[in-house]
């Protein structure tokens, strides 16, 4: 078992990474919990909820299972309210603990529910997708979507613990593995060039979920994200670099309708566009752009962005929350392993959109 320690002004907590962690979940539930709500979806719940319920009940906890409908299109206030309804109907008090068993959608919603229920209760993240394990379960960002924008309503709220069981990846569709690897390779691009090299060299082992390779990739990703988040919990500075590829990626998701592309797929493709923009604005070498494009392809993500029309692209990126005072800001790479956040000239953005979208 590997443990990564995350420290932020909003709280410190451990991330446990290993095989068989689901069976040890009770260790991460605070002893004074008055009840535990196990929030999941039918897909993940069908595979793992019964075992987790049994583990928690054997440890003496009163457990309520709450199933939410599956998918990004349900990441909204209406679904969030299903959690509040169940907690209030079952008289969960301020010392209850929520457990998020599922992917990023479940994690974001349960985290936000924990942030808001009675103005804040404790929660434990049990991410079951690779994407959630290396990204959304670290750093305390929680949210739901609004019809006018993704993750527009949310909170910074830290979990009590994160439990990452690498065994659950075996039941994950290949497409979701690829989407998760997109975030893994992102850390190499923005902050750790040797890790980028390592990912290039181990891409086949990663896609095959070879135990040592995938465990190291998760641990290194969590360490890198934890480092960034500890420097900047509320995204006023350094943390923005984690959004590399996301301004383009969010536009893909919003433009096609949430749920068409997986979030990681959209980010993977968006990183190629952001690399192209980095070449145009900061002179990122063409060879580096092509290495990024090749690695995105090699992990199994799509590399051709959808043709939404340039004006629509710009419009979708405007509403993204990384704009300030109306000026479009991007995370760009001067070189692989280093990222900066800055505005980009409109014509450069248009040129990249025209070129990548028609490619």
For the beta carbon of residue 216, count every other beta carbon within 10 angstroms.
Answer: 18
The question of whether 235 is a catalytic residue gets the answer yes
Instruction: Give the integer Cα–Cα distance in Å for 349 and 359.
Output: 15
Contacts of 227 (CB under 8 A, 6+ apart): 191
Contact between 95 and its own copies by CB under 8 A: the answer reads yes
Binding its own copies by CB under 8 A: which of 18, 47, 71, 146?
146
The question of whether 243 is a catalytic residue gets the answer yes
Contact between 314 and its own copies by CB under 8 A: the answer reads no
Contact between 34 and its own copies by CB under 8 A: the answer reads yes
Helix axes 263-282, 174-191, angle to 10 degrees: 30
For CA atoms 38, 44, 46, 49, the dihedral sign is negative
107 is in an annotated binding site: yes
Binding its own copies by CB under 8 A: which of 230, 323, 335, 348?
323
Instruction: Give the integer Cα–Cα distance in Å for 186 and 300.
Output: 14
Instruction: Give the integer Cα–Cα distance in Å for 54 and 119.
Output: 29
Q: Measuring CA to CA, which residue among 13, 53, 161, 32 is closest to residue 96?
A: 32
Q: How far is the CB of 78 from its own copies (least distance, A)?
A: 9
Binding mask 246-275 for its own copies (x = CB under 8 A): ------------------------------
| Closer Cβ to its own copies, 61 or 220, answer by number | 61
Q: Measuring CA to CA, which residue among 275, 295, 312, 330 is closest to residue 217?
A: 295
Q: Measuring CA to CA, which residue among 150, 205, 160 is closest to residue 181?
A: 205
Active-site residue, from 163, 176, 183, 276: 183
Stretch that binds its own copies, among 128-136, 137-145, 212-220, 346-354 (CB under 8 A): 137-145
Contact between 321 and its own copies by CB under 8 A: the answer reads yes
Number of residues that bind its own copies (CB under 8 A): 38
Binding its own copies by CB under 8 A: which of 89, 170, 287, 347?
89
315 is in an annotated binding site: no
| Closer Cβ to its own copies, 34 or 43, answer by number | 34
Binding its own copies by CB under 8 A: which of 47, 152, 340, 348?
152
For the beta carbon of residue 205, count every other beta carbon within 10 angstroms.
Answer: 15
Structure tokens at 325: 């005072």
The question of whether 322 is a catalytic residue gets the answer no
Half-sphere exposure in the Cβ direction for 160 (13 Å, CA): 21
Contact between 324 and its own copies by CB under 8 A: the answer reads yes
The question of whether 61 is a catalytic residue gets the answer no
Active-site residue, from 16, 21, 219, 225: 225
Instruction: Give the integer Cα–Cα distance in Å for 270 and 262.
Output: 12
Contact between 30 and its own copies by CB under 8 A: the answer reads no
167 is in an annotated binding site: no
The question of whether 211 is a catalytic residue gets the answer no
Contacts of 134 (CB under 8 A, 6+ apart): 180, 183, 184, 187, 217, 218, 221, 222, 225
The question of whether 141 is a catalytic residue gets the answer yes
Structure tokens at 309: 């029309």
Q: Which residues are annotated as a binding site?
A: 70-75, 104-108, 128-129, 141, 150, 183, 246, 263
Which residues are near its own copies by CB under 8 A? 34, 77, 81, 84-85, 88-89, 91, 93-95, 115-120, 141-143, 146, 148-149, 151-156, 234-235, 318-319, 321, 323-326
């Amino acid at each position: 078992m590997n443990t990564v320690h995350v420290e932020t002004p909003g709280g410190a907590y451990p991330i446990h990474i290993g095989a068989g962690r689901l069976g040890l979940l009770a260790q991460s539930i605070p002893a004074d919990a008055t009840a535990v709500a196990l929030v999941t979806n039918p897909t993940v719940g069908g595979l793992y909820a019964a075992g987790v319920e049994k583990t928690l009940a054997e440890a003496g906890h009163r457990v309520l299972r709450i199933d939410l409908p599956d998918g990004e299109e349900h990441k909204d206030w209406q679904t969030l309210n299903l959690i509040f309804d169940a907690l209030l109907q079952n008289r969960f008090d301020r010392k209850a603990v929520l457990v998020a068993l599922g992917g990023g959608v479940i994690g974001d919603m349960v985290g936000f529910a924990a942030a808001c229920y009675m103005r804040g209760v404790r929660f434990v993240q049990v991410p079951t997708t690779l994407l959630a394990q290396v990204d959304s379960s670290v750093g305390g960002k929680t949210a739901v979507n609004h019809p006018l924008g993704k993750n527009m309503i949310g909170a910074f709220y830290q979990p009590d613990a994160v439990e990452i069981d690498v065994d659950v990846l075996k039941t994950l569709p290949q497409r979701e593995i690829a989407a998760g690897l997109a975030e893994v390779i992102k850390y190499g691009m923005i902050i750790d060039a040797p890790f980028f090299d390592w990912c290039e060299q181990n891409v086949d082992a990663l896609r095959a979920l070879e135990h040592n390779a995938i465990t190291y990739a998760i641990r290194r990703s969590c360490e890198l994200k934890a480092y960034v988040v500890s420097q900047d919990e509320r995204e006023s500075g350094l943390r923005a670099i984690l959004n590399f590829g996301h301004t383009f990626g969010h536009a893909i998701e919003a433009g096609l309708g949430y749920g068409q592309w997986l979030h990681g797929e959209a980010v993977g493709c968006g990183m190629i566009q952001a690399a192209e923009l980095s070449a145009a604005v900061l002179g990122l070498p063409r060879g580096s752009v092509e290495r990024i494009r090749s690695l995105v392809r090699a992990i199994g993500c799509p590399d051709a962005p959808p043709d939404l029309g340039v004006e629509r692209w710009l419009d979708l990126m405007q509403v993204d929350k990384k704009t300030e005072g109306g000026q479009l800001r991007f995370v760009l790479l001067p070189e692989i392993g280093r990222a900066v956040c800055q505005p980009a000239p409109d014509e450069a953005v248009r040129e990249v959109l025209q070129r990548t979208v028609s490619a």
